[in-house]
């Protein structure tokens, strides 16, 4: 019996995987996240070959040295040398940190993507290629299933996402790992294996140990990936109707308060209402993970109940009901952002507001929440603010400029600043 040989990825095949993902990013420089394993090494090789054959700018490989193992720096240098041998420009990005004693993978992942985005911006690369492949997708879906994820989680890893103006593309999501190994071997490209990927200390490593047993019971890679495809199709349908309701029922004022028309909110299935509420919460507080379903469902039911609802807090936001509308605004107690601002400088505060201090100001100030102020103080520093923002809870969460512990300036929210906040929130709502 003849055993079929595993084929490496051919030029045209890779072009067919990557080019449909480019959208309007044609001719942009591409960066490749490389760990040194067979998946990312194969991706770097294919990207270099594809760019050369199609007259694209040469890609740059980015290696993150997490400095979590004594040998990681030497390994990063080895990977850089190997990529250099096939003509791939490479930069090593080092994570500087104190000893990491808990949630190592989570913290390392966050640091890795921060470093990668910063490097992409420095090198003018608007696209970052990431080497997630078919087995990664199956493992992710299984892990999310084990954690009780809903439909969105079971959709698995996205082909395309965006962060701080850099598009993350994963052209290899449908490609089996064995073909990436074959691609490296065909190119004579050596690779390394990160021992943490198979360590039973981490959930993914433990899962890989039991995958063969699960496959014997029907949880094969193919079926898990098919489940992800079906979940993604259902998610796209829900997103379509969620977006339609957002555009019909949601309004944002210049001070970052979102209003939802409850008649429209109650006119659709509860699943759509829930998704609208979550999207509005994430628009007001973009930091952190999505709120838990167990916390969202009771509020959705209360909003749809028709008997009114006392003010509730969730995801760093306050949710209140008045005159047939639900109002969502930032909750003061959840705001921890405090930033120094120099004359002539602009800072982004609480991931919501762009605050500028005039260049002719004589001293640095501190940006933090306005907080609870007497009417006398508010009216003296910003005579129109109480009229323009009648909800005290909304006023308290606005940015203000402080000198030491004394309130110095309440910024002008009428024109550019208010418009910027509204534009930012509306861009999330309309996405």
Per-residue model confidence as pLDDT tens digits over 121-168: 999 999 999 999 999 999 999 889 888 889 999 999 999 999 888 999
Please state, in angstroms and rounded to a whole number, the distance separating the CA atoms of residues 154 and 224: 9
Which CATH code is given to the segment(s) 232-333? 1.20.59.20
Location of each CATH 1.20.59.20 domain in the chain: 232-333
Strand 406-409 versus strand 399-403 pairing type? antiparallel
Location of each CATH 3.40.50.620 domain in the chain: 11-225
Structure tokens at 34: 């490389």
Estimate to the nearest angstrom the gap between the alpha carbon of 390 and the chain centroid.
Answer: 33
Phi/psi-derived region of residue 78, left when phi > 0, alpha when psi is between -120 and 50, beta in every other case: alpha
Please state, in angstroms and rounded to a whole number, the distance separating the CA atoms of residues 9 and 224: 23
Which CATH code is given to the segment(s) 11-225? 3.40.50.620
- The model's pLDDT over 191-237, given as tens digits with 9 standing for 90+, comes to 987 666 655 666 677 877 787 888 888 889 999 999 999 999 999 99
Residue 417: per-residue pLDDT: 45
* CA angle (362, 366, 369) in 5-degree steps: 135
**If you average pLDDT over every residue of the chain, what do you get?**
89
- The model's pLDDT over 52-69, given as tens digits with 9 standing for 90+, comes to 999 889 999 999 999 988
pLDDT band at 47 (very low <50, low <70, confident <90, very high): very high
Mean pLDDT of 360-383: 92
Structure tokens at 27: 């001719």
């Amino acid at each position: 019996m003849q055993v079929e040989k595993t084929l490496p990825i051919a030029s045209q095949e890779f072009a067919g995987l990557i080019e449909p993902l480019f959208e309007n990013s044609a001719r942009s420089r591409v960066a490749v996240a490389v760990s040194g394993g067979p998946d990312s090494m194969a991706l770097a090789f294919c990207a270099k070959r594809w760019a050369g054959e199609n007259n694209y700018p040469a890609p740059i490989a980015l290696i993150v040295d997490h400095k979590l193992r004594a040998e990681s720096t030497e390994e990063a240098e080895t990977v850089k040398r190997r990529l250099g041998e096939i003509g791939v420009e490479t930069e090593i990005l080092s994570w500087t940190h104190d000893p990491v004693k808990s949630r190592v993978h989570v913290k390392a992942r966050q640091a890795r993507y921060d470093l990668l985005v910063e490097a992409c911006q420095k090198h003018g690369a608007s696209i970052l290629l990431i080497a997630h492949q078919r087995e990664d997708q199956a493992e992710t879906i299984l892990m999310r299933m084990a954690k009780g994820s809903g439909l969105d989680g079971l959709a698995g890893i996205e082909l395309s996402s965006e962060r701080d103006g850099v598009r993350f593309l994963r052209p290899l999501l449908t490609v089996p790992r064995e073909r990436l190994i074959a691609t490296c071997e065909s190119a004579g490209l050596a690779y390394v294996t990160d021992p943490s990927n198979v360590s039973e200390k981490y959930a993914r490593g433990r899962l890989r140990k039991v995958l063969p047993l699960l496959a014997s019971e029907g949880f094969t890679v193919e079926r898990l990936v098919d489940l992800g495809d079906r979940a993604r199709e259902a998610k796209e349908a829900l997103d379509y109707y969620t977006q339609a309701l957002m555009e019909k029922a949601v309004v944002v004022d210049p001070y970052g308060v979102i209003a939802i028309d409850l008649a429209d909110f109650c006119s659709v299935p509860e699943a759509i209402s829930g998704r609208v509420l979550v999207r509005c919460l994430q628009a007001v507080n973009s930091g952190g993970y999505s709120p838990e379903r167990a916390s969202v469902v009771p509020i959705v039911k209360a909003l749809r109940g028709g008997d009114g609802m006392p003010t509730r807090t969730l995801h760093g936001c306050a949710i209140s009901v008045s005159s047939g509308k639900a109002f969502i605004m930032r909750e003061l107690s959840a705001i921890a952002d405090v930033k120094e601002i120099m004359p002539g400088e602009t800072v982004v505060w609480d991931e919501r507001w762009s605050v500028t201090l005039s260049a002719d100001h004589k001293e640095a100030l501190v940006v933090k929440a306005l907080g609870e102020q007497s009417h006398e103080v508010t009216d003296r520093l910003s005579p129109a603010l109480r009229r323009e923002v009648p909800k005290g809870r909304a006023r308290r969460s606005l940015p203000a400029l402080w000198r030491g512990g004394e309130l110095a300036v309440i910024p002008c929210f009428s024109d550019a600043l208010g418009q910027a906040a509204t534009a930012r929130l509306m861009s999330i709502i309309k996405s």
